[in-house]
Structure formats: C-alpha cells, structure tokens
Structure 1
Amino acid sequence: MLLRAPLTQDHIDYLRKRGFLHPDESVRSSGKAGEGNMNVTLAVATDKRTIILKQSRPFVAKYPQVPAPPERTGIEYQYYQCLASQTDLAGYSPRIIAFDPDSWLLAMEFVEQGADYLKIYQQPDQFTEALAEDLLNYLKALHQLEVKAFPENQAMRALNHQHIFVLPFQEENGFDLDGIQPGLQPLSRMIKTDPALIAKVMQLGERYLSPGRQLIHGDFYPGSWLSSPGGLKIIDTEFAFLGDPEFDLAVMLAHLHLARVPENRLKSLLESYPLDEALLAAFTGIEILRRLFGLAQLPLDLSLEEKEIYAHHAIQLILHDAF
C-alpha cells in the first residue's frame, strides 16, 4: 500500500486494519508534512488527533533517480525502540504509534508547533547555549548507550558512503553545480584533482563502512533537530548504525561551521565532548565538502568566494587532522 496525499478511502481502510487509526476515528485532512528528502511524509488530521505517517520507497523521495533501500523506516523504528526505555533519551524522540513492515510505514505523534533548525544557516543566533547543551546531552547519552544488537544498516550506509565519500570527488558525477550557483562547477575541481585528499577521503570512507562501537544517529544536522514547546526532538534516524561517535559530532560541527556560528562557540563544544580529534576533524571536513559540492545541497547564503574559503578550510581539516 503506497500512500500519497490526499489519502483515499482504500488508504484509510488499510490504516484502520493495521491499527494506525482507531475504528471510530475519522480522517479530516491529509497533506505533505515538511520538506523531507528521503521519504514520503504525511500529516494526517483526524477528529481526535494529528499523526505523522512516514513511508519509504525503493528510491529517494526528493531524487527519484537515486535508488535507496526501502527498509530504512524499519531502521528508524528500531532506533526509537532502543531509546524508548532510556530516561535521558526517550523524551527527545517523538512517540511512536505503530509500524507496518509490510508497507515500510511508520506512524508517530505530530509534534505541535515543531520546527526544524534549517533557518540556522541564515540565523546563526538560533544556536543558543540551551540548544548546544541539549544537543550535547543527547549525543553523550546516545553514545554511552549499551546496545547489544542493532542492524548493520549496510545498504543505507552504502548509499550515504557514495554521496559523502565518493561522488563529490569524481570529475564526472552528473551533478549540475552551476545550476545551483554559477561558478560552483569549476570550483569543485579543487577537490577532484588532489590525489592526497582523495586517498585520505577513501580511507575515511572505509572507516565509515567498518563495524563501529556505539549507536549513532548518522545524520545529525539541523534538519533532524526540531524545536517544540515540549523541548528538543531528534528525528530522521534511518541512517543509524553502530559506528564512530565522532561521525555524529563532526556532522553537527560541519553544519555549524557553514552556519557561521562563531569559532569560540565551536571550540567550547570540542572541549565539552572530547573525542578522537583527528577523526573528528577529518569527518567534519568531509561533511563540509559534500554539502558544498554534493547532491544534498543546503539553503546556504554564501558567495562563491566564501565557499572557496570553507572548502580550503575543510581540506586542511582532512589532511592535517586538526581544528
């Protein structure tokens, strides 16, 4: 059963049959929920409540030409299940209502007045002391969690590996970067013609694909953080796996760099959560480069000259392993 908005009566009957809707619950409206990349995500308002339905397809919803493993909503469900009994973590997750593995369909509570932090790239003052503390508390608790078994999530990691460690560094990758910003395509050659850089990136890509030691979120960037009256919520966990905690913190740091959060704020984060500094620096640099020159672009308000400065800084992080 493939869902799309508006829901049909067949969709509604299916949802009732699978326990997503109560027998006496009537659907009043349904529509797209947010600007997600990976999945079809709908907000469904009933006469009793509003729920979020998230369904994966065998491709990326925003880029149908990119194949993606459909079991990713199952990974997200298992991630939330791991956190559900943990006092320090459960409150950061939306409440899960139901999961249907036959249709890879996940239902969760609608976070009232929830808003992601994608505006942080234009409004870096959104990164407050309170938000920084919340994010670090979440990562520390997550990375200390004892998880005996979790899916390898190898198919999603392979997809992410291609878009982080491989495609942005290939001369002929099919990306029309000049369509995003004139001059970005020739600028990208600076990371495609450096053998030392490419060798180091390949090495880090192998590290990313190797078995790790802690459960990590896998895509810990501002689009996965929701502000709400009930506090911070962390969503979109389909890239989760047992890996290096440095990867989560590096993704966070990379996006704060691109949002122009002051360096002294970033250094305070590093001091409060000490990890392998060399690995952290390298992963940070790679995330910056893939967001500048890869397929998954951000709403950045940066000139070409500023992007060049960021790219040089990212290369230094990768090759010299230091902030």
Structure 2
Amino acid sequence: MTTADLLPHLQAVGLTAGEVRVTPLTGGVSSDIVLVESSKGQVVVKTALEKLRVKDDWFADVSRNRVEQAFFEYAAPIIPEFVPRILGGGDGWFAMEYLGDMPNWKTALFTGDADESTAQLAGTVLGRLHAASWLDDAARARFDTLPNFTALRIEPYLLTTANRVPEVADLVRAEAVRLAETKLALVHGDYSPKNLLTGPQRLIVLDAECAWFGDPAFDTAFLLTHLHLKALQHPQAIALVPEFWSAYTAACGRDLEERTVRLLLCLLLARVHGKSPVEYLSEAQRAFITRFVLTHLPNPPSLAALTTAWT
C-alpha cells in the first residue's frame, strides 16, 4: 500500500484532517513505517511488505499486520505501560501513537552502554506477558498463526540454516519440528533490542508481527541471541545475560532454560547462515560463532556455562 493509498483511510477513520505531512521512519526489513502529521496530531502508520528487504527471496503474508495489531490489543491489559496505543487499522495497515524520539536498546548497546536496569525490565515485561498468557485458550485461538510464524521465523532462520550447515542439519531440523509443535503461551517473535524503545525506567515493546501462540522459549532465546552477539562488539554486554534471565524467570515462574539454550544455539547459527544474517559481524566472528555452535549444539550446556564459554 502506497502513501497515496493510505491517506484516505486515515482521514476516513478520523486520524487526519486538512494538510498532511508524511515522513518515512527507520524500520526493519518487513514493513514501511511513516510518521503522519496533521491538525489532528501525530500518528505512526505501519504497512507490511509482501517481500522482505533482504538478499534472499523471503516472502510473507501481509495479513501479519493484523496479527501485530491483535498482539498489542491483547497485551495492553497485561503490560499497559509497555506497549503503544493502537489508534486504528484496516486491511494491511494500522496506526499507533507516536512516542517521540525514544531510542531503541540496540543503539544504546552499540555505544557500550550495558545498563542492567534495562535488561531487568526487558526480562520482567516478557515474563509477565508469558505468565499471563500461559495456556490461555483465548490467546491460543486468537494467535493460531503457525503459517505466519513459519514464514517469518522457522523457515528463514532454522530450516534455511539446516540446509546450509549440514554438520548439524538433523539437530536444527528436529528443533524446528519441536518448536512448531509446542503450544504454551503468546510469543512476541521478534523480542530484540531494536524493537525495545528505552527511557529512564521505561520500555516500549514494538514490532509484534511474528506473534504466535507457541513456545515462549523462542522469545527468551531471541533476546539472548542479541545480547551474546552484541558482546562480541562490546564485551560488557555479556553481563546483561544473567540480569535479563533472572528477572524473566522471576516474572514468568516457569523453567524454560533447556529449550532456551537449545534455541539460542540454533539462532546464533542462523544469524550467520540464515536469511537474516547480522550485518555487523566480521568474518572472524562469523567463523567463531559457527565453531561455537557446532561444538555445543550436540550437547547443550546450562545458560550460565554457555555464557562463560562464549566469553
């Protein structure tokens, strides 16, 4: 959907009036995001892309836009202070409140800022969401979105990696099958530092188009993957792993460590060999990650032992 297509819809639902200014915002690989300003105020509008902006061919159903809107509506009563307000939506788009110039956590990590309170808050927020949705029949029905999650996560991350790294192909494929079959709680699906806006004692969760009722260990592993990768650039970031993990386990009240570690290893390998490789790794770091996962995936250690071995 182009900007010209979008503006009449925004006016029809009362989100704009009079002269309108549209400014593209920095987004990820899967959506167009714009700031829309008019006499009605400022809103952020997100539209999903059918083909993601990556080197490989990677397509996904744009209906995931409705999934993301549904995620924020479900999460709002659980973690109201940590999700944006949804202002309206339609076929292939939704509008949410503009949160100003809050930086994301990824930006802070790349400056070497290893703030423990942010890691703790990220763990607490995610743990509260998983605990509240655990075996919830309403969430199970509303987020029965395995095809979407497969297209956005299982195929490009796990199955592509299995095809490209034959040494552990069977292990990664088995993990993909287990992941798809696990139905426990609402999964955000992209819980990473770039999707967490931060401020003093504040955190806002964005980008939930991968949401799925499945294995919450995917979220914990996804976030921990990013902390381990950032630690290759700024070693102090590794201290955030136990801070996030202890806060998460206290808030969630479930033992997800074994599945988290196994997925963490698979996702580390996927960020080198999958369809969404990390852009900031050197060739030496890519080789290190591959060796590390090939060594540990056949017999995954505890999270603490894995983190110690990483450093």
Task: Report the TM-score, using the length of structure 1 for normalisation.
Answer: 0.81
Asked if residue 47 in structure 1 is aligned to residue 39 in structure 2, the reply is: yes
| Residues 261-300 of structure 1: per-residue CA shift (max 9 Å, x gap) | 5444423444444433221111111111111222213342
Report the secondary structure of 1:53's partner residue: strand
Q: How far apart, in 2, do the equivalents of 1:270 and 1:163 lie?
A: 26
| Equivalent position of 2:202 in the other structure | 231
Moved more, 310-319 or 278-287: 310-319
Asked if residue 118 in structure 1 is aligned to residue 106 in structure 2, the reply is: yes
CA contact (8 A) 1:69 1:156 kept: yes
1:110-189 aligned at under 5 Å gives the runs: 110-120=98-108, 122-125=110-113, 127-146=114-133, 147-149=136-138, 150-159=142-151, 160-171=153-164
Q: Which amino acid aligns with 1:214?
A: A
The one of 257, 271, 276 aligned to 2:256: 276
Q: Which amino acid aligns with 1:193?
A: P
Residue ranges of structure 1 left out of the alignment (5+ in a row): 172-191
Q: Alpha-carbon deviation of 1:62?
A: 5.5
Change (3 A) 1:288 1:154: same
Q: How far apart, in 1, do the equivalents of 2:147 and 2:19 lie?
A: 35
Report the secondary structure of 2:21's partner residue: strand
Q: Alpha-carbon deviation of 1:65?
A: 4.1
More helix by share: 2
Report the secondary structure of 1:201's partner residue: helix
Q: Alpha-carbon deviation of 1:167?
A: 1.2
Residue ranges of structure 2 left out of the alignment (5+ in a row): 250-254, 307-311
| Equivalent position of 1:185 in the other structure | none
The one of 70, 90, 96 aligned to 2:62: 70
| Equivalent position of 2:7 in the other structure | 12
Change (3 A) 1:105 1:269: closer
Q: Which amino acid aligns with 2:75?
A: L
Q: Which amino acid aligns with 2:11?
A: R
Q: Alpha-carbon deviation of 1:35?
A: 2.8
CA contact (8 A) 1:51 1:108 kept: yes
Q: Which amino acid aligns with 1:140?
A: G
Q: How far apart, in 2, do the equivalents of 1:26 and 1:62 lie?
A: 37
Asked if residue 291 in structure 1 is aligned to residue 285 in structure 2, the reply is: no
Moved more, 137-146 or 58-67: 58-67
The one of 148, 167, 171 aligned to 1:200: 171
| Residues 193-218 of structure 1: per-residue CA shift (max 9 Å, x gap) | 31xx2111111101221141111111
CA contact (8 A) 1:112 1:228 kept: no
Q: How far apart, in 2, do the equivalents of 1:152 and 1:218 lie?
A: 13
Identity %: 19
Q: Which amino acid aligns with 1:234?
A: V
CA contact (8 A) 1:113 1:229 kept: no
| Equivalent position of 2:252 in the other structure | none
Report the secondary structure of 2:258's partner residue: helix
CA contact (8 A) 1:39 1:54 kept: yes
| Equivalent position of 1:266 in the other structure | 241
| Residues 174-230 of structure 1: per-residue CA shift (max 9 Å, x gap) | xxxxxxxxxxxxxxxxxx231xx2111111101221141111111111121112468
Greater relative contact order (Cα 8 A, min sep 6): structure 1 or 2? 2
Q: How far apart, in 2, do the equivalents of 1:61 and 1:98 lie?
A: 26
Q: Which amino acid aligns with 1:303?
A: S
Aligned length: 287
Q: Alpha-carbon deviation of 1:166?
A: 1.3
Q: Which amino acid aligns with 1:138?
A: V
| Equivalent position of 1:188 in the other structure | none
Q: How far apart, in 2, do the equivalents of 1:240 and 1:205 lie?
A: 17
CA contact (8 A) 1:20 1:97 kept: no
